[in-house]
Amino acid sequence: MALVDINWNPSRKELRAFSLLLIGFGAIVATVLLKRLESHTPALATLLVTGVIGLIGVVIPTAIRPLYVVWMALAFPIGWTVSHLMMLAVFYLVLTPIGLLMRLCGRDPMQRRLDRSAKSYWLARTPRGDTKSYFRQF
């Protein structure tokens, strides 16, 4: 199971959402360009290009499908890398310290300690009497 996947066949709704996000992204980039370059030309060009493409996508969503697919294919490596780095961080910064603390405190929730005096590691369980409880799990 992949954490990130490319949608090669987006629906019209997804293409419209992409178009609106493209307009918003273009506005943010234009604002940054205006602040940094203090020139209106690159900011207006960026806003015009993303605005026109975005409006075309809102009106005719299937027209921007190739742009969507290319954008997602280019963004896929970034998403893959970030998702794997996040999972790595969660494992080593959250789960590993919890496991080490449990070992230091002597906690063994899976009962994996070796007991040489035990005849068997089988745990006897008493069955539930009422089978109707299977349908009321909570």
Coil, helix or strand at residue 22: helix
Contacts of 69 (CB under 8 A, 6+ apart): 6, 8, 10
User: Which CA distances in Å does 73 have to 18, 91, 94, 97?
Assistant: 14, 28, 31, 36
Q: Rounded distance, CA 111 to CA 16, Å?
A: 54
In tens, the pLDDT along 64-114 reads 999 999 999 999 999 889 989 999 999 999 999 999 999 999 898 888 888
In tens, the pLDDT along 23-69 reads 999 999 999 999 998 788 999 999 999 999 999 999 999 999 999 99
What is the pTM for the complete model shown? 0.63
- Select from 22, 133, 20, 131 the least CA-distant residue to 75: 22
